[in-house]
């Protein structure tokens, strides 16, 4: 296929698969720059094609551990589990079901496997052994289990037993490493390379209460500016859902009598506007009649289900969005409800519904989020403009897509685990802040979200920011908490840190685009041979030199494990001297660590990313500063070096808005 990528075709694969339906080509240049690998790390798979579908077995070595399968909220290391790759809106059980499951895994032996199917494939990860055929020695009887629990068999040889139902064949892609990180890079580059979001997309986002009218949204935006809360994007609901909940995509004219003027006023204050929607199209929508021939046979909420797998469906749906919304200045969308509902009410279209493009509901669910993103993204691409938005479902080969996943679930630990897991499968995840059970909870959640792909407070059910009042009813009655100003100041500082970190983050994303390195990723991805990191799902790497260990409200202490190498406390510069430490749960700042000797660009805090402050930066110097920093691929790219007690800056290429380094600050001794 490409250097270090192998493909095995079993039987007669279906026409609709992630790779065969792909709409972004592989990033060949990036792939070419990775080291070549002589031999495929896996043998040709054993397989069997029956009326059930296609089955195959891939080997696992002793102690080999598995990661991936997309946006898993409930587990991290996947060996010993059964995973079903099925799209689901409420992944409350650890079954593999997820908003964005991906039939892709990587292992500590340094390779990745993509099963190229939109079917609800099942992976039995290493525990399905053939039946014993000889009596074992009676000695095995001597140790009875004290609890009713069994010994795990991770230390045995095994196999991944995979079944893709209802297909008479499939393609299997193997991504070589030789390291786990390089296997992920290859997958991401094969997907088309990671997304580099527009700068404003990496700023701070605020979603307004769903009933606010245009004037109220603008007033809210003003108050953010007045309170010196940086903000780039306002999210809102245009009120285009009907009584049946399907959408018309026509603004509620009572709340937004002049949308264009509203968008322009927001823009004049440096705000972009992002609109909530879902795809199910009500008969009263202006696109209804044109969409009927490009819709599935079953309604959702009395609305059409657009066939986004068909060019016509994308054209009708996307074209309207382009003309009526993007051309008027909308920066992006929040694509809701595009997953599925096996664990809730079964509100979405059935797996056996039919679409004009020839696929069934099962195949559509696996790509509805992907093709919905395509539909919207296409309109921006046609116009040569960038977007960055939110989506509730995604799938395989999604690395290039400018959309970030979110969930209606709200467990902080799960949100961090999702962030850690997302990096294995080319996904981005937003651990959004909605409300909080306490000031501590609010601060801890906010500290996490500003160290994520999309820094957002989603206040869709409270009229004021949560730091002004955490009680929902009181918030909506505009009654603020006593002492809210202090909490707001804390939150302002945390959001400010997002702005300070932006040049660094943008550099990390640039590397995602060019080299496929996930900007947010698990420790084990960079250090697969370190057993102490194999289960760490609540710490993560950011870019090439930072590691975060979020605090969770209500916990007295926080244990932190360090990867090999020398680390310094980001805030104080203190050297970390142990591989495992414990910090107090009351620690003010989020525990954040930097590789010893690093340079770190640190921007000033302005009202939004377009402001002049975003281009003025000091450089934090840790230790001897030998670890240079560069973001050559990013617009406004920049290289920093530190020699003999003085800084050095190089600005490669042409820049519209060059950086100005205002100073160099030594952190710690």
Residues of span 456-495 touching a second copy by CB under 8 A:
none
Q: Which is nearer to a second copy, 125 or 443 (CB)?
A: 125
Closest approach of Cβ 293 to a second copy, in Å? 10
Q: Which is nearer to a second copy, 341 or 618 (CB)?
A: 341
Closest approach of Cβ 460 to a second copy, in Å? 8
Distance CA 534, CA 541 (A): 14
Of residues 283 through 312, those in contact with a second copy by CB under 8 A are: 283-284, 288-289, 292, 295-299, 301-305
The number of CA neighbours under 13 Å toward the Cβ of 454 is 32
Closest approach of Cβ 64 to a second copy, in Å? 17
Closest approach of Cβ 316 to a second copy, in Å? 14
* 145 C-beta neighbours (distance < 10 Å), count: 8
Name the segment binding a second copy (CB under 8 A); options: 146-154, 445-453, 471-479, 660-668: 146-154
Question: Which tokens in the block code for residue 360?
Answer: 């069934």
Of residues 112 through 131, those in contact with a second copy by CB under 8 A are: 122, 124-125, 127-131
Of residues 246 through 285, those in contact with a second copy by CB under 8 A are: 248, 252, 282-284
Residue 324 contacts a second copy per CB under 8 A: no
Burial of 351 (0-12, 13-18, 19+ CB in 10 A): middle
Nearest to residue 599, comparing CAs of 524, 559, 556, 649?
649
Helix (H, G, I), strand (E, B) or coil at 207: strand
Question: Each residue of 413-449: b (16+ CB within 10 Å) or e?
Answer: ebbbbbbbbbbbbbbbbbbbbbbbeebbbbbbbbbbb
Q: Which is nearer to a second copy, 37 or 287 (CB)?
A: 287
Closest approach of Cβ 221 to a second copy, in Å? 23
Q: Which is nearer to a second copy, 362 or 569 (CB)?
A: 362
x/- map, 632-651, a second copy, by CB under 8 A: --------------------
Q: Which is nearer to a second copy, 127 or 544 (CB)?
A: 127
Q: Which residue has the tokens 């069934």?
A: 360
Question: Which tokens in the block code for residue 34?
Answer: 């990775």
Closest approach of Cβ 271 to a second copy, in Å? 24
Nearest to residue 390, comparing CAs of 72, 70, 189, 100?
100
Q: Which is nearer to a second copy, 244 or 553 (CB)?
A: 244
Q: Which is nearer to a second copy, 54 or 469 (CB)?
A: 54
Cis peptide before 178 (omega within 30 of 0): yes
Closest approach of Cβ 54 to a second copy, in Å? 10
Name the segment binding a second copy (CB under 8 A); options: 3-11, 135-143, 187-195, 387-395: 135-143
Considering only 7, 22, 23, 166, the residue that binds a second copy (CB under 8 A) is: 166
Closest approach of Cβ 209 to a second copy, in Å? 12
Considering only 138, 580, 644, 645, the residue that binds a second copy (CB under 8 A) is: 138
What CA–CA distances, in Å, run from 280 to 321, 338, 355, 480, 663? 14, 9, 14, 38, 53
Closest approach of Cβ 121 to a second copy, in Å? 11
Closest approach of Cβ 361 to a second copy, in Å? 10
What CA–CA distances, in Å, run from 40 to 36, 37, 58, 175, 336? 11, 8, 13, 8, 40
In contact, 41 and 4? CB cutoff 8 Å? no
Distance CA 648, CA 267 (A): 36
Distance CA 552, CA 441 (A): 7
Considering only 36, 38, 39, 150, the residue that binds a second copy (CB under 8 A) is: 150
Handedness of CA 429, 432, 436, 439 (dihedral sign): positive
* Phi-psi domain of 74 (left: phi exceeds 0; alpha: psi -120 through 50; beta: other): alpha
Q: Which residue has the tokens 């046609």?
A: 382
What CA–CA distances, in Å, run from 130 to 43, 193, 253, 443, 518? 19, 40, 65, 51, 37
What CA–CA distances, in Å, run from 84 to 119, 161, 311? 10, 12, 29
Considering only 39, 148, 580, 646, the residue that binds a second copy (CB under 8 A) is: 148
Considering only 145, 268, 577, 654, the residue that binds a second copy (CB under 8 A) is: 145
Closest approach of Cβ 298 to a second copy, in Å? 5
Nearest to residue 23, comparing CAs of 389, 338, 377?
377
Closest approach of Cβ 301 to a second copy, in Å? 5
Considering only 36, 38, 39, 144, the residue that binds a second copy (CB under 8 A) is: 144
Distance CA 251, CA 259 (A): 8
Closest approach of Cβ 19 to a second copy, in Å? 22
Q: Which is nearer to a second copy, 236 or 619 (CB)?
A: 236
Nearest to residue 267, comparing CAs of 608, 656, 605, 657?
608
Considering only 36, 38, 39, 136, the residue that binds a second copy (CB under 8 A) is: 136
Of residues 393 through 422, those in contact with a second copy by CB under 8 A are: none
Q: Which is nearer to a second copy, 210 or 583 (CB)?
A: 210
Of residues 36 through 75, those in contact with a second copy by CB under 8 A are: 51-52, 55
x/- map, 72-91, a second copy, by CB under 8 A: --------xxxxx-----x-
Q: Which is nearer to a second copy, 140 or 669 (CB)?
A: 140
Closest approach of Cβ 592 to a second copy, in Å? 34
Of residues 227 through 246, those in contact with a second copy by CB under 8 A are: 239, 241-245
In contact, 193 and 34? CB cutoff 8 Å? no
Count of positions on this chain that bind a second copy (CB under 8 A): 82
Considering only 132, 384, 483, 645, the residue that binds a second copy (CB under 8 A) is: 132
Of residues 339 through 368, those in contact with a second copy by CB under 8 A are: 341-347, 349-353, 360, 362
């Amino acid at each position: 296929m490409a250097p270090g990528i192998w493909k095995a075709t079993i039987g007669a694969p279906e026409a609709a698969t992630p790779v065969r339906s792909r709409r972004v080509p592989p990033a060949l240049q990036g792939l070419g720059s990775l080291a070549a690998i002589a031999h495929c790390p896996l043998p040709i798979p054993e397989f069997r094609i029956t009326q059930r579908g296609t089955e195959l077995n891939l080997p696992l070595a002793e102690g080999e551990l598995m990661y991936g399968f997309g946006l898993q909220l409930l587990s991290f290391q996947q060996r010993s589990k059964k995973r079903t790759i099925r799209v689901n809106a409420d992944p409350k059980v650890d079954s593999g079901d997820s908003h964005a499951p991906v039939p892709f895994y990587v292992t500590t032996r340094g390779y990745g496997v993509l099963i190229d199917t939109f079917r609800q494939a099942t992976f039995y990860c290493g525990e399905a052994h053939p039946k014993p055929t000889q009596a074992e020695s009676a000695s095995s009887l001597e140790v009875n289990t004290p609890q009713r629990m069994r010994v795990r068999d991770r230390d045995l040889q095994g196999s991944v037993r995979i079944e893709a139902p209802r297909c008479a064949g499939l393609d299997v892609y193997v991504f070589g490493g030789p390291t786990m990180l390089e296997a992920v890079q290859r997958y991401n580059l094969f997907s088309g390379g990671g997304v580099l979001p527009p700068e404003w997309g990496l700023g701070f986002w605020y979603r307004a209460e769903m009933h606010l009218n245009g004037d109220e949204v603008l007033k809210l935006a003003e108050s953010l500016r007045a309170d010196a809360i940086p903000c780039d994007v306002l999210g809102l609901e245009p009120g285009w859902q009907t009584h049946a909940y399907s959408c018309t995509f026509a603004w509620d004219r009572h709340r937004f009598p002049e949308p264009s003027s509203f968008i322009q006023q927001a823009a004049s204050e440096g705000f972009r506007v992002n609109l909530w929607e879902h795809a199910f199209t009500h008969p009263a929508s202006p696109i209804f009649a044109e969409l009927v021939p490009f819709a599935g046979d079953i309604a959702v909420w009395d609305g059409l289900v657009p066939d986004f797998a068909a060019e016509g469906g994308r054209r009708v749906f996307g074209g309207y969005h382009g003309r009526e919304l993007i051309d008027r200045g909308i920066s992006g969308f929040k694509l809701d409800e595009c997953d599925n509902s096996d664990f809730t009410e079964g509100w979405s279209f059935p797996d056996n519904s039919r679409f004009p493009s020839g696929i069934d509901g099962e195949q559509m669910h696996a790509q509805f989020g992907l093709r919905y993103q395509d539909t919207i993204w296409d309109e921006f691409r046609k116009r040569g403009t960038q977007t960055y938005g939110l989506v509730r479902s995604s799938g395989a080969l999604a690395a290039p897509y400018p959309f970030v996943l979110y969930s209606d679930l709200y467990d902080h630990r799960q949100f961090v685990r999702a962030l850690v897991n997302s990096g294995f499968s080319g996904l981005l995840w937003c651990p959004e802040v909605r409300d909080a059970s306490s000031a501590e909870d609010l601060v801890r959640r906010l500290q996490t979200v500003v160290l994520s792909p999309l820094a957002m407070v989603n206040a869709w059910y409270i009229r004021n920011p949560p730091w002004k009042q955490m009680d929902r009813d009181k918030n909506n009655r505009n009654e603020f908490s006593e002492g809210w100003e202090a909490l707001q100041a804390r939150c302002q500082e945390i959001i400010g840190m997002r702005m300070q970190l932006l040049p660094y983050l943008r550099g990390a994303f640039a590397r995602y685009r060019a080299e496929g390195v996930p900007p947010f990723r698990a420790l084990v991805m960079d250090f697969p041979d370190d057993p102490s990191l194999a289960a760490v799902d609540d710490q993560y790497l950011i870019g090439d030199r930072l590691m975060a260990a979020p605090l969770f409200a209500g916990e007295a202490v926080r244990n932190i494990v360090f990867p090999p190498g020398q680390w310094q406390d980001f805030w104080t510069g203190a050297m970390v001297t142990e591989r495992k430490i414990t910090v107090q749960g009351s620690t003010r700042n989020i525990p954040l660590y930097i590789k010893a000797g690093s340079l770190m660009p640190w921007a000033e805090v302005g009202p939004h990313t377009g402001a002049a402050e975003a281009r003025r930066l000091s450089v934090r110097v840790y230790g001897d500063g030998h670890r240079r920093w560069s973001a050559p691929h990013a617009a406004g790219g920049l290289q920093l070096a530190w020699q003999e007690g003085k800084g050095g800056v190089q600005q490669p290429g042409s820049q519209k808005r060059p950086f100005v380094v205002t100073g160099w600050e030594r952190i710690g001794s």
